[in-house]
Amino acid sequence: MPLRLAFAVGFLALALLAALQPWLRFVLTLALATGLAVLGIMMLLRAGQVSFGHALYVAVGAYTIAFARPQLDDVLLLLAAAVLAAVVAGILVGLFVSRYRDIFFGMLNLAFSMVVYSLLEKLYWLTRGTDGIRVARPRLFGVALEGARYEWALFALALVCVAIAAALVARYLRAPAGEALSALKTRETRLEFAGVSARRVLFQAYVVSAGLAGLGGGITALATLHVTPLLVYWTHSGELVFVAILGGTANVLGPFLGAVVFELVRVHAAAAFPDAWQMILGLVLLGIVLLAARGLVGLLEELGRWWGRRV
């Protein structure tokens, strides 16, 4: 199966990069975490719905770890708590936003995320405001890891999470409720006239997407060991949508391809052109939208076909 092969090659390439350039381990772990959140965004994009507030669930995952860390000293338990909290938040908000479509869906998500942003910023006694909360480095399987070994462990854990999440989401997207996402985009009423609740189709995907963003947020918090309200600021939500479009929605590889390319372009552009890196990111997206509307994954498929014709 080519998709599995693409993931295997991608994982090897990332591991190689991380081994050759130790400072990239951290960057790539963050990229994988972003990719998990974007995987959820991609599910919603299939239904034609753009959430401009999904950083909310990234922050819920990250802050859950920050709040739970004093009581919990285990990476896996902390991640499980992050996902659980994000799923609960996704259910609460999803019950409401799954009634809405298009611009209303996008803006309501934005509104919820900005409410949480102000709460995190203002409730200083609980969240330490814009200073954020430091997270003490937790143990993994009871072992306290230091420096590079912790980074490696987290990087490997992120790869495992990505592999599992991508495999499960890929299967879900081929199941009726997953296929119905794009059916919701093209003919929502026909779904209702077949006896299917379009709202439930969107709601289920929304809760899954919240859980994935929570997992991404959890990994981010464990990598940076510091959470701030910036995690839920609207620009971060926008960034997730940006990466989703950059990577493409054709399959589950897109979000991760998009996230890795995004982070690598960002760190290199920021190092080379400290004042213009945002412009470079903008030009990259402009190029993708104009020249490869199906994103990097679409570009990759085109290349594969071109290569197939030549061989």
CB of 210 vs other proteins, minimal distance in Å: 16
49: its two tokens: 């719905």
Q: Which is nearer to other proteins, 118 or 186 (CB)?
A: 186
Q: Answer whether 109's CB lies under 8 Å from 54's CB.
A: yes
Q: Does 176 bind other proteins (CB under 8 A)?
A: yes
Q: Answer whether 53's CB lies under 8 Å from 114's CB.
A: yes
Span interacting with other proteins, options 57-65, 132-140, 173-181, 212-220, rule CB under 8 A: 173-181
Q: Which is nearer to other proteins, 133 or 180 (CB)?
A: 180
d(CA 72, CA 94): 28
Q: Which is nearer to other proteins, 8 or 194 (CB)?
A: 194
CA 103 to chain centroid: 21
Q: Does 71 bind other proteins (CB under 8 A)?
A: no
Q: Answer whether 295's CB lies under 8 Å from 288's CB.
A: yes
d(CA 140, CA 118): 33
| Site map (CB under 8 A) of other proteins, residues 178-217, x = contact | xxx-xx-xxx-xxxxxxxxx------x-------------
Q: What is the DSSP string of 115-174?
A: HHHHHHHH-HHHH-GGG-EE-PPPPBTTB---HHHHHHHHHHHHHHHHHHHHHHHHHHHH
Q: Does 1 bind other proteins (CB under 8 A)?
A: no
Span interacting with other proteins, options 10-18, 31-39, 172-180, 217-225, rule CB under 8 A: 172-180
What is the residue whose two structure tokens read 């034609």?
A: 48
Q: Does 250 bind other proteins (CB under 8 A)?
A: no
Q: Which is nearer to other proteins, 169 or 219 (CB)?
A: 169
Q: Which residues bind other proteins (CB under 8 A)?
A: 168, 171-172, 174-180, 182-183, 185-187, 189-197, 204
